[in-house]
Each structure stands twice: as structure tokens, then as C-alpha cells.
Amino acid sequence: MSTLLFIIFAGMAIGCAIAMVSQSNPLYCAISLIGVFISLASIYVTLAAPFIAAVQVIVYAGAIMVLVIFVIMLLNVEHSEPRRKRLKFLVPMAVGMAAVLLAETAFILYSVQTSANHFTGNSSNVGLTHSIGEGLFTRYLLPFELTSVLLLMAIVGAMSLARRTTILSATARVIPGAQVLAMHEVNPRAIGDLRPVEAATSEEAAHLLGVEFQSNRGGQE
Amino acid sequence: MGPQLSWYLALSAILFTIGAVGVIVKRNVIAMFMCIELMLNAVNLSFVAFSSYFQDVTGQLFVFIVMTVAAAEAAVGLGIIITIFRNRESLDVDDANILKL
């Protein structure tokens, strides 16, 4: 029975993973990946790890994939047209690397196979929430606290990365002299025009950009 | 007789290999990101398999921590993806080549 369940869910996981890699649309990719997560959660249930299975569904399929799908929808990427081939050696390299990894796996499995180790059953309470919480707050308290620090850093990093740059004043955007503006200083969406602006002076550049130029040097001179 | 430990390890290795191939082959940065998630999940599977077979809870604790790292990675990675898209108007990794010689 458990062998049958393992074969069903392993087949589902591998099939969904292959479908994910072969899809070109990122949305279908994401849905196939959710299939992998669900089948892995089922395997965790058969391994007597119900807490991890629940967390897998809630955190991975629930939170992370929703975030990914949200970003796919937000960026609204149209189906990518076939473009020029890049770096032709990448696909053979991927196949070769996969072959090496699988050969390595087969070798290790051959050694593991000799020391047969059977699943002893659900006699203990290893996978339950109680034992996981006990381990997390006693013996492994330091990794737990480090994880919370990591989450805090992730919050700060995500906010500072995804924050839209504030619309600066005209004098801040138009630099006298070379008129080379960094990409992150020019907000393409705000200007609505992606063409570069060439100008000799700040007034001219501001006129071309369609913003009001205020000289902040006038007071000093 | 249930499935042996090596079956779970084989499944984990196959999933990891598929994820690694995807990272190399894919060009869309979001698809590459999802392949990395698949590799993390493959490692989680071997953690849980060892934990169940040796009746030790440590493996499952570290699965919990790996999941937290994956969530943090999702937040920061998607923030980076949004920033790249704003600057380049493209999700193709070949377009983010301004540091290339």
C-alpha cells in the first residue's frame, strides 16, 4: 500500500517537475510547481511527518507561489516570442551535468542499498508538532533565532528593493554638464518616454523632458 | 514492506537534477527562480526521509528552517526581479548583461 502511494506521488512529482521545465509560459510553470509541492506534501504524510506536510502546503503552495504568481501577473509578461539563440553550449552542458548528477546518485544508491534500512513505522511521535516545537525551542534555539533575524533582513531588503523611486525635483534629475543620468534616477513610467535626452544645459534638458526647471544655483551666485 | 530509504533519495536526486537543468536551460528569470525552489524542495525531501527513517526530529527542524530561507529568498528575489523589470523592461536574463565585458 505505502509502496503504491509512493509510486503514485513520486510519478506525479517527477511529471510535474518535467512539465515545469519544459513549459515556456511562466504561469503554467508556476502551476506545475504547485503540483510538485502538493505531491511532495503527500509523500511527507506517508513518511509520518504531518507537520512538515502542512507547512509545505501552507507556506510553499500557499504563500510563496501566490507571491510568484502575483509578480507574474503584476509584470504582465506577454508570451515571449522565440528570440535569438544564446550561448548554444548551455543545453548540452545541462544534459551533461544532469547525466553526471544521476550517475553520482546511482552510485550512492548502490552503496546505500547494501545497508537496507526499512521504515520502522509510526510508533514514535517524531513528526508531530509537539516534538518539532520542543526541539525548536530547546536544542535548536540559536538557529531559530537566526532565522528570525534573516526574516527581518528579508523584510527590509524586499522593501528597499521593490520600492518605487520617488519622483525627484527637476534640479535633481537634470545634471548640468554631461547629462548622463543613471537608469534608476530617471523613472521611465513617470516620464512616459524611454528615449534618451541629449542636451547641453540643464534648462534645455528640462525643457525636453517636459519638467519645470528650477535653478538652485541662482541664489548662490 | 514499504518503500526503502533509497527510493526517497532517488526521487530527491531526480527532482534536484531537473531543477538544476531548469536553472541552466531557462531564460525567464521567474522560471529560473521557480527551478531554484524545486531544488530546495528536493533537498527537503531527503531531509524528511532521513528524519523519518532514523527517528530523529532534527531533519524536520532543518526543513522548517529551509522553508523560512525559501520564503525570505522569495521576497528578496521577487523584489530584485521587479527592479530589473523596471530598468530593463524585460525578464530575459540575457538582457541584464551590463556587467559583462
SS3 labels along chain A? CHHHHHHHHHHHHHHHHHHHHHCCCHHHHHHHHHHHHHHHHHHHHHCCCHHHHHHHHHHHHHHHHHHHHHHHHHHCCCCCCCCCCCCCCHHHHHHHHHHHHHHHHHHHHHHHHHCCCCCCCCCCCCCCHHHHHHHHHCCCHHHHHHHHHHHHHHHHHHHHHHCCCCCCCHHHHCCCCCCCCCCCCCCHHHHCCCCCCCCCCHHHHHHHHCCCCCCCCCCCC
B13-68 residue pLDDT tens: 999 999 999 998 888 889 999 999 999 999 999 999 999 888 888 888 999 999 99
ipTM of the complex: 0.92
**pLDDT computed for residue A220 by the predictor:** 42
The structure's pTM equals 0.77
Give yes or no for B78 touching A (CB within 8 A): yes
Cross-chain Cβ contact B72/A154 below 8 Å: yes
Exposure string of B33-50, with b = 16+ CB inside 10 Å and e = fewer, is: bbbbbbbbbbbbbbbbbb
Q: Which residues of B touch A135 (CB under 8 A)?
A: 57-58, 61
Q: Quick count: other Cβ atoms within 10 Å of Cβ A23? A: 20
pLDDT at A191: 53
Contact A112 B67 (CB under 8 A): no
- pLDDT score for A221: 39
Per-residue pLDDT of chain A (221 residues; tens, 9 = 90+): 888 999 999 999 999 999 999 888 889 999 999 999 999 999 999 988 889 999 999 998 889 999 999 998 988 766 555 566 666 777 888 888 889 888 888 887 777 765 555 555 555 677 788 888 888 899 899 999 999 999 999 999 988 887 766 555 544 544 444 445 555 555 555 555 555 566 666 677 667 666 666 655 544 43
